[in-house]
Amino acid sequence: MGDTTNQPLPLQSIKVIEFTHMVMGPAAGGILADLGAEVIKVEPYQGDNTRRLKGSGAGYFAMYNRNKKSLALDLKSDEGRALALQLIDGADVVIENFRHGAMDRLGFGYEALKERNPGIIYCSLKGFLSGPYENRTALDEVTQMMGGLAYMTGLPDRPLRAGTSVVDITGGMFGVIGILAALQQRQHTGEGQRVTSSLFETTAFLVGQHMAQQAVTGEEPPPMSVRRSAWSIYDIFHSAEGERVFVGVVSDTLWRAFCEEFGLDSLAADESLATNAGRVGARETLIPQIEALFASLSKDDMMQRLDRAGVPFAPINKPADLFNDPHLNHGGGLLDLELPEGGSARLPALPIELGHGSESRRPGLRHDLPTAGQHSAEIARAAGLTDEAIHDLIERGILRDEAGVQQQETANA
């Protein structure tokens, strides 16, 4: 797999100004940045509050803000707004995920920016699209609950959110899809447009398969925790050491390969088990036999033989297990980042490959996670401000120049 460091990336000519926090907006900007866009993250003077989250939010900033530049300034000041508008005038895309009306009050609403830059693609990431709920405040967990995802994940009497910010992330991805579509359309029209992605409609799209299931079967789908499996063997089994492995035999061809690999001649010869429907009907007697088989094998032996037979399987991992996963550690699947607060992390790369064969490559790391205001002076200078003007903004507490502070600290050490 090729090295991405000096290779052109698809979006390297695109300039993005990002006004975001938490997950949904930063995820959208992060995808564009990984694909080569120049993404300038505009933060409050004190830095994005996401940087200071603890608990389950402690990884948000580290995961979704690599390959970006940080501009920290006071947007409530005339000078701060003027600098931001200068950047937007030369940008292709603006991304924002703040409450309805927040950007308009600052003078950064779509209509105002379109007057200055008719080609701008303005991506808003919200809780809801247009409709009765459009002004409500939403969170990932809120829309998982109201969109049926928490019901499908949990037990019948205990809805349970998914174990990651799945709606924030996929909502950000839909935002990126909209941005790319708008950029393509701009090639033909020369005009930009507003793109909006939302948490609630994203959740509805994710559970759409279950809505369709009910339409097709006429029955309300039960939660996945108590679902009626469509396949005969689609379960978690224990190895001889008590380790857990999920196994899914999802076709008649896989059933025959499974029986051959594990020497299950009597089961293979049983005509009543030749079809998936027959095996589903015999689950009560079939599953105990498979459980006994796997309980006699080590986890490694079980997985090697399942792999050899081509049967889908998966060890039951924790997120921490992925740091040492041999597949993720091959070819740039994990990126080494230096954290702004010190220390380092190895985090997943964008899950795509570009190119073919030996020329294929994973979008990699071009810039480590920025400190708040790390690129402020650089960005202001590129926007046309003189060093004297930049120094004045820094002295007056409008522009935060973290790079200059770090250089001064180094000189004084």
Q: Is 190 helix (H, G, I), strand (E, B) or coil?
A: coil
- pTM to 2 decimal places: 0.94
Angstrom distance (rounded) from CA 116 to CA 264: 72
- Domain over 15-207+325-395 is classified CATH 3.30.930.10: no
Query: In this predicted structure, what is the pLDDT of residue 410?
Result: 46
Residues contacting 47, CB < 8 A, separation 6+:
72, 372, 373, 400
- What is the mean predicted confidence (pLDDT) over 364-378? 97
Share of the chain above pLDDT 70, in %: 96
Domain borders along the chain are 15-207+325-395, 229-319
Tens of pLDDT, residue by residue over 96-107, are 999 989 999 999
pLDDT digits 0-9 by tens, 173-230: 999 999 999 999 999 999 999 999 999 999 999 999 999 999 999 999 999 999 877 8
Q: What digits encode the pLDDT tens for the residues 337-348?
A: 999 889 999 999
User: Domain 229-319: which CATH class?
Assistant: alpha beta
How far apart, in Å, are the Cα atoms of 384 and each of 15, 267, 300, 389?
16, 76, 61, 10
Please state the rounded mean pLDDT for residues 106-113. 97
